[in-house]
A = this chain, B = another copy of it.
Amino acid sequence: MTQPARNNWQSVQEEVVRRIHGKVWNQGDLIPNEADLAQEFGCARATVNRALQNLADAGLLDRRRKAGTRVALFPVRKATLEISLLRKEITDKGHAYGYAQVSRKHAAPPATIASRMGLEPGTRILHLVCVHTADARPYVIEERWINTGAVPAAGTADFSQLSPNEWLLQNVPYTNGEIAFSAISADASVASLLQCEAGDGLFMIDRTTRRGDQAITSVRLVFAPGYQMKTTL
């Protein structure tokens, strides 16, 4: 049986996946090295490298220099979520976007937030609460702390028209951060802002962004009931 030439990285990848699914290579098994596979498939080693690297990224393979490539013991799948501008997310869904600032003050954040942002306890920074609406219905509450030590301009910026979400993206690009997804039960104040019932289960995102090791902002987004964040696998 002669192999059809697999001379592009996608077909190499397909064949490798086929062999893993077909248990030709079992989980934990060492697979042939790049040079051998390249010869078998009739392509350059770089092509095999790209295919295998892609599969390692996807979590199906584990690779280590000198040790070789093996089929992952736990095939971890990765879902990528797009974190976009709220305005864009709402208009992309075909709804009319609206925005309102609820409160703005300078205050010391709670200890958990202060430590997450690497601030001295008691440091007073900017605190904002706003609501984004879709077709005039509340869509999400944005509760945000901005490190005015790192971003002095935010202290004087006007967030009554432009959301801090958008202002920060335009003015203070971040380099890294953390994000956490969870759920809470609506309390009275949240319920009144989102026009829902107290006790409703709400989807929530906590996000802290940094520029290097300096925290820029920490935000909690609490979404209206029924909100779903979807993606493909």
Contact = CB atoms under 8 A, between A and B. Distances in A.
A233 interface: yes
A83 interface: yes
Q: Say how many copies of this protein the assembly contains.
A: 2
Contacts of A180: 228-231
Interface in A185-233: 185-186, 199-204, 207, 209, 223, 225-233
A169 interface: yes
Contact of A84 (B74, B182, B232): B74
Given A76-B82, A76-B83, A173-B21, A201 B179 contact: no
B74 A179 contact: no
Contacts of A233: 83, 174, 176-179, 207, 209
Given A80-B80, A178-B233, 8 more contacts: A75-B173, A78-B81, A79-B80, A83-B233, A181-B203, A181-B228, A200-B201, A207-B233
